[in-house]
Amino acid sequence: MKQILDLELKTSKIIAPAIGEEKGGYIPLPLRNLAPGEMVTFDVYLKVKAKKDPEPRFVLACPKNEVFKEEWFQKLKSLEIQWLYYLQEDEDRVLGYLDRSLEKVLPDETRKPEEKVTLLYDTTLITVRNFFCSEEIGASPQMFRALRLIDGMFDLMKGGVDFHKSILEIRRHDHVLYNHSLNVCFLGLAFISFLGWDAQKAQDFGLGAMLHDIGLIQLKPELVQKNATRTAVRTTDSHPAVGYKMLSAMPGIRREVKYMALQHHENGDGSGHPGGLKINAIDPWARVLRILDHYETLTGGNSHKRPKSSKEALKEMAALQEKNIFDLNYFMSFIKFIGKT
Ligand SMILES: [Fe+2]
Ligand SMILES: [Fe+2]
């Protein structure tokens, strides 16, 4: 049967880029996540708006259990159409598909490091979304998947600077809370790999970084919607304590991970919240996270503020450091780390 992708495509009618979740439960999936020439296990849609349409429509581009043709992939790529969609109800199938892709791509030495990092990043982003949106947050299959992806990422990080660089380059900012969580996690894994932490600590630290703002979900469910702003994320004061409580209810979570949620808005001079703790009273993992969180927020930008460059962000943070906001040793290492990437 002929599909829309077999026809001539008018790029003016294809809507991109996608931002967050769309009406009707359509969720954007980067084209780069599809393996050309392989069967897809979920329905793949294209977002289209012809002149006569009052609203964009989602058109089935490749039905599940059909091969996503190489020529379709190349056509979309050459037209610079980077986004396709799947239905939310298919999310488990999408994650299964991406898992299988990762199993093939990660050990393949002919694939470029950027390709591996990108696929891991995108898969983890969907995992975080799935994790945050589920009714039972922290259920063991999700936790297991998140830890496996963190492990995979840390393994790649050990490959060196190329991977660190890719992380900074591929960060996406289309969905504030998930992207922020994931960016802090990946940036954190790159940083602690630079610091020489071992794999077990990295797995736990990565999880804490990924979940540090989880309290926001309970406090402000609207933040998991697509239009949430970073300002809203930053000025919500009780999310550290709520997050700590949520993590404490999950089995097997290490003490430091819970403290990452509780203390990531503490400042070394005692001006932070919720405890107003001085630097020595703040858990070292939370001190590391404080730096990553701040840097990611500055360089991520939002719809109101342009993202700052690494240089600008570090300069702004250095000014804050005059008041001893961050842990001095970690901050100095972080400057070295960013300078190397
Ligand atoms: Fe936070
Ligand atoms: Fe945060």
Q: For 3-36, what is each residue's pLDDT tens digit? A: 778 877 776 666 554 455 566 788 889 999 999 9
In angstroms, what is the span from residue 263 Cα to ligand 1's centroid? 9
Distance CA 258, CA 241 (A): 10
In angstroms, what is the span from residue 289 Cα to ligand 2's centroid? 9
181: pLDDT strictly greater than 70: yes
Ligand 1 (single-atom ion) residues, CB below 5 Å: 213
SS3 238: coil
Rg (CA), the chain: 21
| Domains contained in the chain, CATH given | 1-89 (no CATH), 173-341 (1.10.3210.10)
At residue 174, the pLDDT reads: 55
Distances (CA, A) of 37 to 4, 247, 287: 17, 42, 46
Question: What are the tens digits of pLDDT across the range 318-330?
Answer: 999 999 999 999 9
Distances (CA, A) of 114 to 14, 65, 119: 27, 28, 9
CA 301, 305, 311, 315 dihedral sign is: negative
Burial class (CB in 10 A: 0-12, 13-18, 19+), 108: exposed
Q: Stretch 80-104: mean pLDDT, rounded?
A: 92
Closest ligand to the CA of 297: 2
In angstroms, what is the span from residue 240 Cα to ligand 1's centroid? 6
Distance CA 191, CA 292 (A): 9
Closest ligand to the CA of 177: 2
Q: DSSP H helical segments within 6-139, as ranges?
A: 70-78, 91-105, 113-133
76: amino acid identity, one letter? L
In angstroms, what is the span from residue 180 Cα to ligand 2's centroid? 7
At residue 283, the pLDDT reads: 98
Closest ligand to the CA of 262: 1
Question: What are the tens digits of pLDDT across the range 97-132?
Answer: 999 999 999 889 899 888 888 898 889 888 888 887
